[in-house]
Amino acid sequence: MVRTDLMSKFAMRSATLLLTGVAVFFAAEIASGQQSSSAAMESASANLPLTSQSEEAKRLVGEAMRVGLDLVEQEQSDVMLRQAVKLDPDFAMAHLLLAENSLDPAEQVAESAKAVALRGHASPAERLVIEWWQDASDHKLISAITKMNDVLSQYPHDKWVIFMVTNWLTTQTQYERAIAVYERSGITDSPGLLNNMGYCYAYMREFDKAFTLMDKYVAALPKDANPEDSYAEILRMAGSFNKALEHYRAALAIDPQFYSSQFGLADTYSLMGDQIRARQEYETGFQKFPLPELHQVQWQTREAETYIREGDLKGADHAFQSIADDAHSKHMSQVEADTYRQMAMYQPDPKPALALLTRAEAALKEGKNSMPAALHQEQAQILRVRVEVAVKTGNQAAIHALLVRLDEMSGNSNDRLIETAYHGAEGAALFSQHKYDEAISHLEEDKNNPLSLKLLALAYQKIGYSAGAKRTSETLANLNDPSLEQALVVPPFRKCYEDPSCSGTVKAVSLKK
């Protein structure tokens, strides 16, 4: 398991600010500003200061970071952060970390507000981190980037700064940059960073490098469960399902309470096509472990997806509705909206799909216990699904009106998720109008979504770009992400690919492989 929550709301890539080396070229030489002063050396070796009246609170935050990063024990980490803010209610950085780390939406909102309000109590460097976070949340991307780089330039070897930056880059799919920042940091004694970098390589589908780092991570923490759990997840991403199961079981043997591995087993069986066994494993997990709200929702949703994978849409409706009802009763508006949106995505009939999207928007309007940025992102996702429904019905007026709204949201937000929602929707609309060249330019901006990848492969094929079609088809066929989009797109794609009698348009692409 990798931590992707902390700082995940930030939409930026890192810069590499260690000003090293000299630029030597055919036209000119430019010294890149190697820092040589003693002040710079001191800064480069410094750690981000933590400001608190309580030494114990500072110790707890340090320990919370270690437990959260190296062992990925998020709940334990949260307990320590809660203790820290109790000991020192003015500890701004502790509030920020708790806001980003919490698995409780209400706590996320409350702690975030406290961090911003209390930043005056913090050191300049801590204020910079908090403002970086705030700018990113407010979609002030350029300002956020410069602040992040400012922090990184001041503390290029601080483990927690490197963690925050690389984690952020990972969530923004800037894997190569994350690896570059890590390598420049010179940090070699952080198991948690090994874990994160292993995931970066896996996301780039460079599995040999990922497995090398996983071997090191397991060797560094042989008595902990998360290294085995991470190894399992990366094996699953690579399609080695049976080996993944072995590693998940190894994690549970080390720590029977490491519930992520129990649900990892379930996810893996689901991807392998054994939905009955998958549901058994999910239910075992729900019975054995009390879960934080957001983890409960995450795996309930995965369990609901098993019905989609076996084509039982009534079963899926029942399971998803139960999640939505539960979210409503707990005043988790964004979760409720997201659940209705997902239900709309798999409806074969546009009418119920639109009714579900209306319910999603009603939940969104309530906006309870949800970060504003998350609500905006959800609204964009809902609009995207509305466009896809309108494409199905050929309602050009609706498509146009929805795309205008999404374009405006995207233009004003500087939010990658909102942008990709716009590009995915615009690409789907243009594809339906047979405007393949234009569709491609949008679909290429949403390459992590199987729905867009499928259209992209087809669009490449339509314009005669066979190499692109082949590469995209291969990427799609090898996606092993336990998401709804994967469940909707990849299994039928593979089925058609493997069936010589299949003559669908997807097959037309696949046959070119």
Instruction: Please report, as ranges, the residues that interact with other proteins according to CB under 8 A.
Output: 12-28, 30-33, 141-142, 145-147, 149-150, 153, 174, 177, 407, 410-411, 414, 441, 444-445
Q: Which is nearer to other proteins, 149 or 432 (CB)?
A: 149
Closest to other proteins by CB, 176 or 325 = 176
Of the two residues 35 and 358, which places its CB atom closer to other proteins in the complex? 35
Q: Whole-number minimum distance, CB 390 to other proteins, in Å?
A: 21
46 conformational bin, left if phi > 0, alpha if psi -120 to 50, beta if neither? beta
48: left (phi over 0), alpha (psi -120 to 50) or beta: beta
Q: How far is the CB of 411 from other proteins (least distance, A)?
A: 4
SS3 state at 236:
helix
Phi, psi values for residue 330, rounded to 5°: -100, 10
Minimum CB distance to other proteins, residue 28 (Å)? 4
SS3 370: coil
Alpha helices in 138-206 (DSSP H): 141-154, 159-171, 175-185, 191-203
Shortest reach from residue 440's CB to other proteins, in Å = 12
Q: CB 444 → other proteins: shortest distance, Å?
A: 8
Q: How far is the CB of 18 from other proteins (least distance, A)?
A: 7
12 vs 265, which CB is nearer to other proteins? 12
Q: Cβ contacts of residue 59 below 8 Å, gap of 6+?
A: none
Encoded tokens for 380:
């964009």
Which one, 171 or 414, has the nearer CB to other proteins?
A: 414
299 contact partners, CB below 8 Å, separation of at least 6: 263, 266, 282, 285, 286, 291
Query: Which residues, other chains included, contact 155 with Cβ-Cβ below 8 Å and sequence gap of 6+?
Result: 43, 46, 47, 48, 125, 161
Least distance (Å) between residue 21 CB and other proteins? 7
Residue (283 or 408) nearer to other proteins, CB: 408
The DSSP secondary structure of 83-108, one letter per residue, reads HHHHH-TT-HHHHHHHHHH-S-HHHH
Angle at 376 between CA 133 and CA 172, to 5 degrees: 50
Please identify, using beta-carbon distances, which residue of 174 and 379 lies nearer to other proteins. 174
**What count of other Cβ atoms lies within 10 Å of the Cβ of residue 292?**
15
Min dist CB 468 to other proteins, Å, is: 16
Q: Judged by CB, which is closer to other proteins: 177, or 507?
A: 177
Give the nearest distance from C-beta 397 to other proteins in angstroms: 22
Distance in Å, CB of 15 to other proteins, minimum: 4
**Residue 14 vs 296, nearer CB to other proteins:** 14
Q: Please give the Cα distance from 133 to 299 (Å, whole number).
A: 28
If the CB atoms of residues 142 and 219 are measured against other proteins, the closer one turns out to be 142
CA angle 432, 435, 438 (to 5 degrees): 115
Cβ pair 258, 229 in contact under 8 A = yes
The CA distance from 356 to 368, in Å, is 19
- Are the CB atoms for 16 and 180 separated by under 8 Å? yes
